[in-house]
């Protein structure tokens, strides 16, 4: 994205609101937006060493081939979305660089690269009642025996399409949601967490 363009989080008003439902120490759920990350949708042939090698050269990671897993690199991470589809996620402002580098490295192969950065945002959720809150709107079994750290899943939470990543066993989850659903999802979280208390981290 050009430096001359003004970036604004879809949840800017929620993030700067003075009202907090609970202090971070007492809250069953703490929420923090992680906006502006570079989100690149990549499609290609995971069985082709030429394809995976080109991606490795650009992003510094091996594409995950096991369903619903995430691979972490020094500068990027890759989310498995399907047998031939991934999200490549990089630092804020890297989307143009990643798209250009991937297109150049994959030239002549069968692939698709699309920049989805402006249409997505990510919420980091943590706290002792995190799973209880999400269970009110999500049918996935989020217990660590079924959904372990390092896994991801595409699903619906309160009718909003999301990508959930289990980060660690604090527990901490990251939920990536479309920009157009971000405010709706935030309001749903506030309501679902009402009995436990929800804090907003800076």
Question: Could you write out the DSSP letters of every residue in 88-155?
Answer: EEE-TT-HHHHHHHHHHHTTTSS-EEEE-GGGEEEEEEESTTHHHHHHTT--S--STTTS-TTBEEEE
- Both tokens assigned to 28: 């069953």
Least confident segment among 3-7, 63-67, 103-107, 188-192: 3-7
At residue 40, the pLDDT reads: 98
Which domains, and CATH codes, for the chain?
A: 12-36+119-200 (3.30.1360.120), 38-117 (3.30.70.1520)
pLDDT digits (tens, 9 = 90+) for 90-106: 999 999 999 999 999 99
| Residue that the structure tokens 């050009």 belong to | 2
41: number of Cβ within 10 Å: 16
Does residue 16 have a pLDDT over 80? Answer: no
Q: pTM of this prediction?
A: 0.89
């Amino acid at each position: 994205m050009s430096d001359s363009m003004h970036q604004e989080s879809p949840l800017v008003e929620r993030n700067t609101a003075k009202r907090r439902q609970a202090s971070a120490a007492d809250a069953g759920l703490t929420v923090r937006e992680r906006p502006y990350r570079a989100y690149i949708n990549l499609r290609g042939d995971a069985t082709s060493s030429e394809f995976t090698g080109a991606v490795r050269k650009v992003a510094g990671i091996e594409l995950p081939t096991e369903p619903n897993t995430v691979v972490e690199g020094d500068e990027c991470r890759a989310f498995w979305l399907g047998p031939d589809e991934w999200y490549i996620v990089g630092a804020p402002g890297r989307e143009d660089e990643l798209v250009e580098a991937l297109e150049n490295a994959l030239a002549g192969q069968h692939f698709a690269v699309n920049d989805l950065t402006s249409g997505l945002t990510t919420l980091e959720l943590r706290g002792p009642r995190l799973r209880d809150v999400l269970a009110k709107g999500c049918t996935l079994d989020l217990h660590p025996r079924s959904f372990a750290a390092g896994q991801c899943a595409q699903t619906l939470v309160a009718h909003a399409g999301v990508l959930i990543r289990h980060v660690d066993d604090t527990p901490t989850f990251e939920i990536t949601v479309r920009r157009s659903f971000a405010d709706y999802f935030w309001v749903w979280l506030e309501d679902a967490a009402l009995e436990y208390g929800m804090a907003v981290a800076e």
